[in-house]
Amino acid sequence: MLYVLISILIMAALLDKALRRGRIDLLLLEMRFKFFALRDELRDGVVTGTLPENKWFEYLDTSITKAIDLLPTITAWETVALVLRYKNDPTVQHAQTTLLAALSEQENQKLNEVYIKFVLCIVEVLFRRHVGIRYGMKGLAKVVVSTRGFVRTAAKMITVAPETSTLTQYAQ
């Protein structure tokens, strides 16, 4: 009887692992298509003339492409590491300030909309990939309102960190 119970527990653990892996694989595939759609929207805007074709377009285009390639590595743990590594880096801070200033210009307003969608896609990846963190953060958000600011800061860091972005090439 003990062997049967142990076998059932092992099978349940293996099933749980398979379901979790399948959920993450499906999420990554779905998010890849969202990123592709966002990049297509960006490129279509340049073709139709509704978006300017400048270095900020190139930054968004190359960073979205890089995010698509690195999607399996975009995790909450990687995000925490990027925030801790680059939060006081003057080069990254300058690049981010330059980006935000450029996107706030009138001619780049449409690019700013695409940038916001890009950040929101990354936030969606993080929240949907880490279900436990999602519920933990929701609970924590009820207690600490600033959690939302950290998630945005973390998502924005992914869009500017050299490992996951091409911003330092364009913000000079």
What is the predicted pLDDT for the residue at 151?
67
How much is the mean pLDDT over the chain?
84
Average pLDDT value for residue range 135-139: 64
Q: Is the pLDDT of residue 78 over 80?
A: yes
What is the predicted pLDDT for the residue at 50?
94
**What is the DSSP secondary-structure string of 17-56?**
HHHHHHHHHHHHHHHHHHHHHHHHHHHHHHHHTSS--SHH
Structure-model confidence comparison of residues 136 and 95, the more confident one = 95
Taking the CB of residue 150, how many other CB atoms lie within 10 A of it? 16
71 contacts 125 by C-beta, under 8 angstroms = yes
Q: Is the pLDDT of residue 10 over 80?
A: no
Residue spans per domain, the chain = 23-170
- Give tens-digit pLDDT for 27-61: 899 999 999 999 999 999 999 999 999 999 999 99
Structure-model confidence comparison of residues 89 and 136, the more confident one = 89
Query: Which whole-number Å values give the CA distances from 63 to 32, 71, 141, 158, 164, in the listed order?
Result: 13, 12, 29, 10, 7
Query: Which residues have a Cβ under 8 Å from the Cβ of 99 and sit 6 or more positions away?
Result: 56, 59, 115, 160, 167, 171
- Give tens-digit pLDDT for 21-36: 778 888 899 999 999 9
Q: Which of 44, 150, 160 is nearest to 97 (CA)?
A: 160
Q: How far apart are CA 20 and CA 15, in angstroms?
A: 9
Q: How confident is the model at residue 91 (pLDDT cuts 50, 70, 90)?
A: very high
Pick from 3-7, 21-25, 91-95 the range whose average pLDDT is largest.
91-95
